[in-house]
Each structure stands twice: as structure tokens, then as C-alpha cells.
Amino acid sequence: MVTSQLEVRSIRDPLVLAAMRRVPRHAFVGTEHMDEAYADSPLPIGEEQTISQPYIVALMTEMLGLRAELRVLEIGTGSGYQAAVLAEIVREVFTVEARVALLDNARRCLGGRGYRNLRFRHGNGWEGWSEFAPFDRIIVTACAGRVPPRLVEQLSPDGVMVLPLAKDAGKQVLCRVTRIGTLGMDIQDGIPVRFVPMISEGGAEE
Ligand code: SAH
């Protein structure tokens, strides 16, 4: 998977490539999708949600520009696969999931893997996780129509957030947001993507 799907598409960060070699993707998909776990595509994980295609996981992780000493917030735990990739690389990972059934499942998948640098929370990701803010990096793995303001507030100065944003006609673009000073942000657009929609601000958790 790493050679044929990531390296050929120019994923270069050695930390990302090593992490994706170490995390067994099959441990994060249900038994019915086990034989497709390393396929070049997203897969269903229940509750009408999906685990992203390996390339998209790698690309978003690379776009974060990670280093071992950083603290990262993830919104949308889902299967827990992206959280595991992050936890292989950085000092601390905080992950928030709105659907309790998925969160419980991710805890189970990740629990046995011995990550001591990973914390979970059930909640709406629009709120972030203020108790542990600021974060050096934030990754959002569901698509919103705008950058959640609370997340910008919880980003360190010069911090980076990677997220899909819905633009005109619902087209989604992978964006890299850099926090500038206390109020500003710079948004760079990347490739077109397709993510599940983010539960709305103030929307009910499940
Ligand atoms: N990172 C995941 C992919 C998850 S799919 C993985 O590696 O498997 C997107 C996830 O975002 C779903 O689990 C969905 O329930 C969650 N989600 C959607 N809206 C959310 C919100 N407002 N707050 C927190 N989680 C949300």
C-alpha cells in the first residue's frame, strides 16, 4: 500500500510513510471489509461513515507538517485509523467523535495497541476541546461549509489545520489553514475531495 499508493503519488514525509507502514489498517475495518482493507479506496465503517482512502490519510497527515514534539487535535475519530497514524508520529493526540457507537468501536480497536499518548472525547467537534488547547495542529475528517471558529481559536500561533471545506455547488476542497497572530488566518486550497458531512454546529451528538 505504502509503495504502490503513497510513494508513487509523491507522499515523501518519512514520518508519514513509516507510520503508515506500522499501523495495520485491517484492524480498523469490520470483518466484512477485511479483504479490502489495503485497497485504494475509502471503506464503510458503519453509521453511514467511511474511513478515508489511504492516500487521503497520508496526504492530510503530510499537509500537517508533523514533528514528534507536537500536540494534535483530530475531529472525527471514526474508525480510529487516522488517530493511530497521528499517535505513531506526535507526542499527544486528542480525538473528538460525535457518534458514540463509533467512538466506542475506535476505543476498542485502539485500546489494545498500547498508545499512551491518545485521548478520546464524545462531543461535537465544532467546540474543539478547550481543556487541552492550544493545539499545534488540527485535522478535521468530516466536511463543513466554513472553518469552525472555535477550532481556529484553539490553534497555537502559527498552528496549522487541515480540513475539507464545501465550496460552490457543494464541491469539496482539501484546505490548509494557518493561524496568523491572534485573529488572522490564511487558507490555501488543495485537491478536490469527498468526505462525509460534518454534523452541524449545535447539532445533536448521537
Ligand atoms: N478519521 C476517521 C474518518 C472518519 S469519517 C478514520 O480514520 O476512520 C468522519 C467522522 O466524523 C465520522 O465518524 C463522523 O461521525 C464524525 N463527525 C461528523 N461530524 C462531526 C462533528 N461535528 N463532531 C465530531 N465528529 C463528527
- Report the pLDDT value the prediction gives residue 202, as an integer from 0 to 100: 86
Distance 57 CA to ligand 1 centre (A): 13
Q: What is the DSSP code string of 152-172?
A: HHTEEEEEEEEEEEE-GGG-E
Could you tell me which of 79, 82, 95 has the C-alpha nearest to residue 30? Answer: 79
Mean pLDDT of 21-48: 96
Q: Which residues contact ligand 1 via a Cβ below 6 A?
A: 45, 49-52, 75-76, 78-79, 81-82, 96-99, 102, 124-126, 141-142, 196, 198-199
Mean pLDDT of 86-111: 96
Active site residue 79: no
- Summarised one tens digit per residue, pLDDT across range 66-93 is 999 999 999 999 999 999 999 999 999 9
Out of 48, 75, 127, mutate this one to test ligand 1's pocket (max ligand atoms within 8 Å of CB): namely 75
Q: What ligand 1 atom has the least distance to the C-alpha of 99? A: 15
Mean pLDDT of 36-44: 97
Catalytic residue from among 4, 10, 41, 52: 52
- Report the pLDDT value the prediction gives residue 61, as an integer from 0 to 100: 98
- Report the pLDDT value the prediction gives residue 151, as an integer from 0 to 100: 97
Cα 87 versus chain centre, distance: 11
Instruction: Write down the mean pLDDT value for the chain.
Output: 96
**pTM score of the predicted model:** 0.97
- Summarised one tens digit per residue, pLDDT across range 163-172 is 999 998 889 9
Q: How far is CA 90 from CA 83, 85, 194, in A?
A: 10, 9, 26
Residues above pLDDT 90, as percent of the chain: 92
- Report the pLDDT value the prediction gives residue 205, as an integer from 0 to 100: 76
Q: What ligand 1 atom has the least distance to the C-alpha of 52? A: 3
